[in-house]
Amino acid sequence: MKPEWKAFLLDAGAEMDNDRVSHYGNPERERSVAVTGDVICDLSHQGLIRARGEEAAAFLQGQFTCDVSEVGPQHSLPGAWCTAKGRMVCTFRLFNRGDAFYLRLPREQVETVLKRLSMYVLRAKVTLEDAGDAFIPLGLSGPHGETLLKDALGGDIPTQANACTRHDSITIIRIPGHHPRFELYGDLESMQQLWHALNVHCAPVGAAQWALMDILAGIPNLYPATAEAFVPQMTNLQQLGGVSFNKGCYPGQEVVARMQYLGKLKRRMYLIHLPVETPPQPGDSLVDPDQPSDQPAGTIVDAQRHPDGGVAALAVMQITSAEAGQSRLERPDGAPAQVVPLPYAFDPAATP
- The binding site for substrate consists of 183
DSSP state of 235: G
Order of strands, sheet of 127-130, starting from the edge strand that comes earlier in the sequence: 77-82, 88-97, 100-106, 46-52, 127-130
Integer CA distances (angstroms), 137 to 104, 165, 283, in order:
10, 15, 27
- Residue of 116, 111, 173, 132 lying closest to 1 (CA atoms): 132
Distance from C-alpha of 285 to C-alpha of 289, rounded to nearest angstrom = 13
Is 277 within 8 Å of 226 (Cβ atoms)? Answer: no
Residue 202's beta-bridge partner residues?
A: none
Residues contributing to the annotated binding site: 183
Distance from C-alpha of 143 to C-alpha of 265, rounded to nearest angstrom = 36
- Residue of 92, 86, 87 lying closest to 107 (CA atoms): 92
Distance from C-alpha of 134 to C-alpha of 137, rounded to nearest angstrom = 9
User: Quick one: which H or E segment has residue 264?
Assistant: none
Residue 183's beta-bridge partner residues?
A: 139, 173
